[in-house]
Amino acid sequence: MIAVGIDVSKSKSTIAAISADGEILMKPTDFHHTEPSMNQLITILHGFNDEARIVMEATGHYHKPVLKKLLESNFYVSVVNPYIIKKYTDNDLRKVKTDKKDALKIAWYAMEKHYTLQPFSSVDQKYESLKYLSRQYSQCVSLKVKAKVQLYNLLDNIMPGIKHIINSTTINPDNNLLYKFIKKYETYDKIKAMTEGRFINSYVKLAQKCCAVAPEAKALKIYELAKRSITTQPLDTSTRIIINECINILKQLEVSCNSIMSQMQSIAGTMPEYDTVLAMGGVGFKLAPILIAEIGDIRRFKNAKALNAFAGNDAPPYQSGQYESLNRHISKRGSSTL
């Protein structure tokens, strides 16, 4: 048996190989993540004429090109948590950190732990797609929150207090009453210039198009609020551009969020664990696909404790001699997103 250690970085990997008796068969060598370079690596590994146990660290998506080529060539590959490799190398007195040294350390780890290594099992493509969608959804939600904060800051200057009266949340952003209201009236100064009856009639017509409840009562509240409020931002060309762009960005982000979540629900609905996750307390139609995406294939965990450790929620036991800790903090070494 030979042990192969792969230190993965962006666009290239440093790879070393050692034999069972500790002889370095291949000094740490750089291979780029390209077809010719990977084919060269595979030819070298086949040339050893011995079973290879290959270990690499999980590095986001950087290791995937190497992993794909090795699996296609039917090599035994184990993808290990980087923290495990770090703890394994912590017993060195002299701390040396280079790609070449790391590749050799991983190769030694593969040799020493070859009997406990778990071969990489290809995850169903559905879980991969769901995870990518989940991360994109999180990004869209984050941008939407920032855009909404910017809009609310602007409203504090041109329509203070309006967001407490009109709080429209609709699936279709084109039917959002707050957005339509802002675009139509722009500032309280325009409302103040109207008579009470004229504004109420105008607002009722607008609200009915959005199927709003009790528009007359809200129209009166808005008119009274406009009369006693002080606007601090003049209605000029710059203000109009800011208003329109804020609303346009928010609309686009809401469309993107809805589209991504719809696809996530469509994929998650075909998975056997979907109904179980959805039945959990506090989990709805949006959270269920996100949980499945971040956990992945739950069948790869041997028990509930393994899943809890993956999420970083476990409190590892601590006992020495007569002392046994009964109040331990959680490890926080799992998936931060989960």
Query: For 195-227, how does the pLDDT look when each residue is reduced to its tens digit (9 = 90+)?
Result: 999 999 999 999 998 888 889 999 999 999 999
Q: Is 296:271 a contact under the CB 8 Å cutoff?
A: no
Calculate ∠ Cα 29-80-328, nearest 5°: 140
Q: What is the pLDDT of residue 182?
A: 93
Tell whether the model's pLDDT for residue 35 goes beyond 70: yes
Pairwise CA distance, residues 136 & 142, whole Å? 10
The predicted pLDDT at position 221 comes to 94
pLDDT-based confidence at 125, cuts 50/70/90? confident
Supply the pTM of this predicted model: 0.76
Query: Would you say residue 324 has pLDDT above 90?
Result: no
Average pLDDT across the chain, whole number: 89
pLDDT, tens digit, 9 for 90 and up, residues 167-182? 877 788 888 999 999 9
CB-based contacts of 166, cutoff 8 Å, min separation 6: 177, 178, 181, 218, 222
Q: What is the pLDDT of residue 174?
A: 87
- Tens digits of residue pLDDT in 46-102: 998 889 999 998 887 888 899 999 999 999 999 988 888 888 877 665 666 788 888
% of residues, the chain, pLDDT over 70: 97
Between CA 60 and CA 40 the distance in angstroms is 24
C-alpha span between 69 and 78 (Å, rounded):
14
Burial of 333 (0-12, 13-18, 19+ CB in 10 A): middle
Burial of 99 from C-beta contacts in 10 A (0-12 / 13-18 / 19+): middle
- The pLDDT value recorded for residue 124 is 67
pLDDT in tens, 128-143: 889 999 999 999 999 9
Judging by beta carbons within 10 Å of its beta carbon (0-12, 13-18, 19+), is residue 42 exposed, middle or buried?
A: middle
253-295 pLDDT per residue, tens: 999 999 999 999 999 999 999 999 999 999 999 999 999 999 9
- Residue 94's pLDDT is 65
